[in-house]
Amino acid sequence: MKNLLNLKFSPSYLSGFTQADGNFYIGFQKVNNLSLGLRVSPKFSLSQHISAKPLFEDIKSELGVGFINTNRNEVNYSVNSLPQIKNKILPLFDDAPLRAGKLESYLTFKQVVNMMENKEHLTKEGLANIINMSYFMNTASSRTEENKQALLRSIGYEGNLTIEELTIPASLPPMNSDFIRGLTDGDGSFFIGFHSNGRITTSYTVIQESSCRNVLEELVEYFGCGKVYDLKSKSSRFQVENLDDICNKIIPHFKENVLLTEKKTHFDLFSKVCELLQNKSHKTEEGMMEIINLAYNMNKDGKGRKLNKEEYINLMESKFKSSTKLIGLSEPENNYYSEVTNFDDTCNGIMDEPPYAAIKDIELSDKSKIETLLNLDMLDLIDKT
């Protein structure tokens, strides 16, 4: 196999991408002219949005095996030739191992490929063992025990079968930057949240099925930030929301380790918005509109948002107009900060005068909060009233 390390994608990148969007599959087809009436078909595949087709063409060209097919929204790269899988695909993932549940699927797949190379699938017992060990190797499969037993009966096998425990490596190499790059190109997301109160939030996420939750825990350790959440959909999500962590840890990583799919476009917009947020640009109408125009339709053309872009712009324009009116109110004449003798009494005095009378429900616990009051974001003030 050619040295992929010399290309824009390395074995570790392909391993990370496969961890996200790859699949190892053993198919069974009834064929009457075979002695046992059943064909075993191993297949390795990658699937992504149609925009990833150039990347898939590069992968196919470099590996020198497989084929690409597309439909309206998806591109697939597949390798289903036994010799090609044996000589090209297995060495790739032996050198750059997968992790957690995906690793277990790969090891089962590899075992079946080796059994087929030894012609064990041509014997009744060997074929029965292949069916038994691989039928449920993909956790997302819709296969049933009833169908599995029907296959075993179709080849005339009625004995007892046991599944040998997989030999999982005691330890794996630490997750590296290229693996994370591939994982993010597959299952990662950069998202800007626009809230009705004018608040803007940022998040970097990676989702894995529950059997691969440990992969997300490794991301927490690698980046030194973020949390892992279990979802109702039998999956888990790694998420970083803190703006400082995103600007100091996530963005520098992906500026150095460039993404290869459409996610790069999302990342470039995401990093620009984070820079504007750090500079407090969103507190001005001009800055807010720049952020909206940059990122409101960044993911799926904004189709998942409650308001379309025009509606959100109108909402923010109305808030800034209201904000301007409030800012125009007279400031308290007294210099409370320089005359503080009793902090609680002073706070009460401030809260009784405009423009702060509307937010008496804010609790103050130390002197520094006076400065917070005097520099209060007027968009937040509108939301309190």
pLDDT, position 363: 42
Residue keyed to tokens 């390798």: 79
Longest Cα separation, the chain: 98
Confidence of residue 337 (pLDDT cuts 50, 70, 90): very low
Question: In the predicted model, is pLDDT for residue 72 greater than 90?
Answer: no
Please identify, among 297, 325, 353, the residue that sits at the C-terminal boundary of a domain: 325
What are the two backbone dihedrals, phi and then psi, of residue 27, each rounded to the nearest 5 degrees? -100, 155
In this structure, are 183 and 321 located in the same domain? yes
- The residue-averaged pLDDT of 107-134 equals 94
In this structure, are 293 and 234 located in the same domain? yes
pLDDT, position 373: 40
Residue 163 maps to a domain: no
Residue type at 266?
A: H
Residue type at 169?
A: P
Which of 1-5, 161-165, 242-246, 328-332 reaches the highest mean pLDDT? 242-246
In this structure, are 21 and 121 located in the same domain? yes
pLDDT, position 324: 61
Average pLDDT value over all residues in the chain: 83
Question: In the predicted model, is pLDDT for residue 129 greater than 70?
Answer: yes
Q: Are 255 and 270 in contact, with CB atoms under 8 Å apart?
A: no
Where helices occur in 213-308 by DSSP H, the ranges are 213-223, 243-245, 251-256, 263-278, 285-295
**Contact partners, residue 161, CB within 8 Å, separation at least 6:** 128, 129, 132, 152
Question: What is the spatial distance between Cα 64 and Cα 124, in angstroms, rounded to a whole number?
Answer: 34
In this structure, are 222 and 123 located in the same domain? no
Q: What is the CATH number of the domain that holds 317?
A: 3.10.28.10
- The residue-averaged pLDDT of 141-146 equals 82
Confidence of residue 24 (pLDDT cuts 50, 70, 90): very high
pLDDT, position 8: 67
Residue 21 maps to a domain: yes
In this structure, are 295 and 371 located in the same domain? no
pLDDT above 70 covers a percentage of the chain that reads 81
Q: Residue 80's closest CA among 28, 115, 138, 41?
A: 41
Residue 75 maps to a domain: yes
Question: In the predicted model, is pLDDT for residue 26 greater than 90?
Answer: yes
Q: Are 121 and 130 in contact, with CB atoms under 8 Å apart?
A: yes
- The residue-averaged pLDDT of 97-116 equals 95
Which of 169-173, 200-204, 281-285 reaches the highest mean pLDDT? 200-204
In this structure, are 145 and 19 located in the same domain? yes
Confidence of residue 328 (pLDDT cuts 50, 70, 90): very low
Please identify, among 285, 306, 325, the residue that sits at the C-terminal boundary of a domain: 325
Question: In the predicted model, is pLDDT for residue 141 greater than 80?
Answer: no
In this structure, are 353 and 276 located in the same domain? no
Question: In the predicted model, is pLDDT for residue 249 greater than 90?
Answer: yes
SS3 91: helix
Q: Are 129 and 114 in contact, with CB atoms under 8 Å apart?
A: no
In this structure, are 67 and 183 located in the same domain? no
pLDDT above 90 covers a percentage of the chain that reads 63
Query: Mind listing the pLDDT tens digit for each residue in 342-376?
Result: 434 444 444 444 444 444 444 444 444 433 343 44
Domain count, the chain: 3
CB atoms within 10 A of CB 37: 14
Distances (CA, A) of 361 to 57, 138, 384: 60, 54, 9
Query: Mind listing the pLDDT tens digit for each residue in 184-223?
Result: 999 999 999 999 999 999 999 999 999 999 999 999 999 9
- What domain range includes position 368? 329-384
In this structure, are 199 and 333 located in the same domain? no
What does pTM read for this prediction? 0.79
Distance, CA of 114 to chain centre: 33
Cα–Cα–Cα angle for 16, 20, 26, nearest 5°?
105
Lowest mean pLDDT segment, chosen from 76-90, 171-185, 333-347: 333-347
Residue 168 maps to a domain: no
Residue 361 maps to a domain: yes
In this structure, are 319 and 340 located in the same domain? no
E strands of 36-92, at which residues? 38-49, 67-70, 74-79
